[in-house]
Structure formats: C-alpha cells, structure tokens
Amino acid sequence: MSKELIRLRDLCMAYDDELVLDHLNLYINDKEFLTLLGPSGCGKTTTLRIIGGFSTPASGDVLFDGVRINDVPPYQRQINTVFQKYALFPHLNVFENIAFGLRMQRRSDPKDPKRKGKLSEEEIRERVMEMLEVISLKGFENRKPDALSGGQQQRVAIARALVNRPKVLLLDEPLGALDLKLRKDMQIELKRIQQQVGITFIYVTHDQEEALTMSDTIVVMDKGTIQQIGTPEDIYNEPKNAFVADFIGESNIIDGIMVRDNLVQMYGRQFPCLDGGFGENEPVDVVIRPEDIDIVPLEQGQLTGTVTGVTFKGMQYDIIVDFRGFKWLIQTTDHSPVGAKIGIKIDPDGIHVMKKSVYSGMYGDYSSFSDAYDELDDAEAGEDEDET
C-alpha cells in the first residue's frame, strides 16, 4: 500500500502582506504522481519551492518521512527539481550534462553518510547509461544540446535531475515551452518514466488536460487555497464547487434547490438525480456536463430552449442553447440549426449537485461563449511566452 512521504502542515506564505498560501494542508504518498493544478498566480510554484527548500514558509511545517525539514537546505533534501527553463550546459555533451550532478556530489553524502569522496568513473558511466536508457536516448551521449530537439533536451534535463536518485522529483510546468503535439507525447513519456523509476513526482501545471492525463492525484488550487484533492475521475465527476467544475472541463452550472435526496429542482422543474445528504429544500449549484445532455423532440423535453450558436468541432457540434436567458453548452453529434427550438433530457447520473460556495454564480453560463473562446486562446498564447 502507499505510504505517506511528504506532509505540508498548515503552510502559510505571504509576500508584502499578501497571503499567497493560506493554511495549506496536504500529504503526498511515496511513488505517487501528484499534480498541483490551478490558474496562474494561485500559489503552485510557491508550494513547490517550499517543498524543494528554496523558500521558507511564513508558518507551518514541511515533513519528509515524518521528520520536519523546514531548516534542511535544498541539497540535503532527497528532492530534485526540473524547471520549464531547464538550461542544459551548451558546451557539454549529453553524457556530461547528465553526469554533472554525480561529479558534483558532495563529499559527505547526506543520503549515505558512510560514503566519502567521489563516485568512480565506472560508477558514473553506469549510472548515466542507465539514465539514457530510462529517457530512451541511448546513442545520443556524444551530442551537444543544440543538436537535440526540444523534447530530447527536456528528457536530458529530467535524466540530470534523476541521476542522483532522489526520492522526489519536482516539475514546474516542464512542458510549457513545447508545442502541443510534442507536449502530448511528453505527457505519456513522463508518466512512463515516473513508473519506471518508481519515485514520487510532484508536477505543477495550469493545464487541466495535462493534469487529467498524467496524475494519480490532482490538487486543485485557487488563490492560495486547496479547493479539492482527488483522482482525475473524482475531480471531473464529483467537483466540490463551481470553481473546480468550471476549471476542469466544460460545465453548465445552474442554480437549483435540493428538494430531497435524489430530487433536484431547476427552472421550477424537478429532475431525478443520484445525489443526497443535503438539507430539505437547500439551495445548491447543479453541474451538468455538455456531453451528458440528450436532445429530444420538444414534447419529450424536461426543458425546452432555443439554439443560439453552433460550432462544428469534428467529433461533435458545440451548440449554445438559451433556456430562459441562461445559456448552456451542449455537445452533440446531432445538428440543430441556430433558431431551432429543442427539448433536452438529462439522465439522473448526468446531474451533479454541489453545495453553494463563494464561487456560486460566478461560472457556468455560456452567454459569452465565443468571446470566452477567444480570451482563452489569447491567455494561453500569452502564458506560453512568459510563464516561468
């Protein structure tokens, strides 16, 4: 069974009186692939830097294997880091780039106090070759970094961080500089490497799809606080609040009333659902994913609305439907033209009920969907350029 390796206890961090981490509590298991996910500025890098020992928290503790390590310097932690701007040494070949950490190894190795002095050349060669195997770059040892593709360079950076055999690897948006196709390949590759070396990866990204693809556990953050911790399936299927529902995938988020267990009311109509445990007639937020909505003949619809926008997406149509002034996104393979009146049906398991939160009313209406699309593209383009 998995064993706890790192624990963050009540971590707080402030810059200029501004709280950027607000009582963070989290444990990370040995051999786990855990991802910190959230919008730019939510505190992901700050959290990673504290785990790595590059920043000191204002209050709270970092425990490693049950021992408080707040005052242990980075090089004495069994933790290494890969940054997005990974800067290989341009004048050294691949072999020497990877060997660098081993040649620099401290004379008194904290991981092995009995060992004094440096590793033998033979041992270094063995370890570097083992790493080249892990990153699938055998035969590349004499190449200089500028003779490698971006993805290959990134793999060398990962090998360089792994060669010292840390127990934990921290990765801060390591794929941000790569183009989409390469990024997708590297996601699979990174997951494979993590499983092969069998250590803990703590990964930072603002890309929800990346998080869903790679992680055992996702930690969704906003404004220095944890919103939800769970498996990718938990986070997608059972978001805790409107922020998480909106950040992960597409969501229609509708104001509702939980009449009683297994019955929720929206637009004055009652919908059978599978959720329970709320107060009688408690106001709630209801999430309905665009792919969970069926279009049916008007007279069979639980609700009826008017199509106001259609976008062909290859696999499906994204259609925007106005239900009494609130616009939903529906993904369907059936084409309905703009102006059409349609009925919809939602199966009980397509409805997810959430408690009201500070995020209620902020998300989940697709009134400005095409605008939102443009903004999203702009934001992503901007971030790719200056994200660090």
Ligand X SMILES: Nc1ncnc2c1ncn2[C@@H]1O[C@H](COP(=O)(O)OP(=O)(O)O)[C@@H](O)[C@H]1O
**Which residues make up the interface to Mg ion (CB under 5 A)?**
45
Residue 183 interacting partner from Mg ion, ligand X, none (CB closer than 5 to 8 Å by kind): none
Distance of closest approach, residue 42 Cβ to ligand X, in angstroms: 4
CB neighbourhood size of 359 (10 A): 21
Number of residues that bind ligand X (CB under 6 A): 10
3-state class of 64 per DSSP? Answer: strand
Judged by CB under 6 A, does residue 41 bind ligand X?
A: yes
Question: Which of residues 2, 40, 149, 196 is near ligand X by CB under 6 A?
Answer: 40
String of contacts with ligand X for each residue 13-32, x by CB under 6 A:
--x----x------------
Q: Which two tokens stand for residue 34?
A: 């855990």
- Which residue's C-beta sits nearest to Mg ion? 45
Q: How far apart are CA 63 and CA 73, in angstroms?
A: 14
211 is an interface residue for ligand X by CB under 6 A: no
Measured distance between the N- and C-terminal CA atoms of the chain, rounded to whole angstroms: 35
Nearest distance from C-beta of residue 208 to ligand X, angstroms: 14
Closest CB 14 distance from ligand X, rounded Å: 9
**Is residue 35 at the binding interface for ligand X, with CB under 6 A as the rule?**
no
Nearer to ligand X, 40 or 196 (CB): 40
Q: Where are the beta strands (DSSP E) in 277-375?
A: 282-288, 293-296, 303-312, 317-323, 326-332, 341-346, 351-355
Report DSSP letters for 256-269, one per residue: EEEEETTEEEETTE
- Residue ranges in 328-347 that form contacts with ligand X under rule CB under 6 A: none
Of 6, 8, 45, 332, the one binding ligand X (CB under 6 A) is 45
Q: Does 258 bind ligand X (CB under 6 A)?
A: no
Helix (H, G, I), strand (E, B) or coil at 191: helix
Q: Specify the residue for token string 């069994």.
A: 78
Q: Which of 5, 37, 43, 203 binds ligand X (CB under 6 A)?
A: 43
* CA–CA distances in Å: residue 130 to residues 59, 150, 187, 196: 40, 21, 21, 12
Instruction: Sheet containing 303-312: give its strands across.
Output: 293-296, 341-346, 303-312, 317-323, 326-332
Residues that bind ligand X (CB under 6 A): 15, 20, 38, 40-46
